[in-house]
Amino acid sequence: MLLDFGATRIVSDAVSVGYKNLLQAATEQNREAVKQAACDIGYFDTDIAPEYCNAVIELFLLATTPLRCDGPFDFANSQLSKEISEKGLALNSHSNEWHTPPVDALFIHRKLAGLYLIAAKLQAKVDLSPLQKYLT
């Protein structure tokens, strides 16, 4: 396994705060706050179709499932990455709605996905609930 610790960058305060707000809202399952944070980060245009917006919010909520788990989350035996992939592919039918988020947002998104996949490969069972104190 290769871990690339050189793949780092400084992200803007707006994206950093936006992701913190997004993760906090998602752990609380607050859909309106998730939408606002996603808008602040740059995931949505202001004229986004409601059904597309709801589908993306659903993806954010799904992706943050490990943060809401009571006790250790079993990354190896979870179907979460498959569910996220399937829902993400379903969004392709709304390709006219999609636009590219800021580079910083894509960087963080890619790093979080990579952490999930590494945890699954390592068959990790991790209690992520202590991280919630950093979101408030």
* pLDDT per position as a tens digit, 88-123: 888 877 667 677 788 899 889 888 888 898 899 999
- Reported pTM: 0.86
Tokens of residue 38, six digits: 């996603």
Contacts of 83 (CB under 8 A, 6+ apart): 62
CA-CA distance, 53 to 19, in Å (whole number)? Answer: 17
Any bridge partners for residue 126, and if so which?
A: 73
Percentage of the chain beyond pLDDT 70 is 92
Name the CA dihedral angle for 96, 63, 26, 48, rounded to a multiple of 10 degrees: 0
CA-CA distance, 76 to 86, in Å (whole number)? Answer: 18
CA angle 31, 87, 38 (to 5 degrees): 35
User: Given the DSSP bridges, would you call strands 73-74 and 125-126 parallel, antiparallel or unpaired?
Assistant: antiparallel
Q: Among candidates 11, 30, 9, 12, which has minimal Cα distance to 21?
A: 30
pLDDT tens digit sequence for 16-38: 999 999 999 999 999 999 999 99
Contacts of 134 (CB under 8 A, 6+ apart): 20
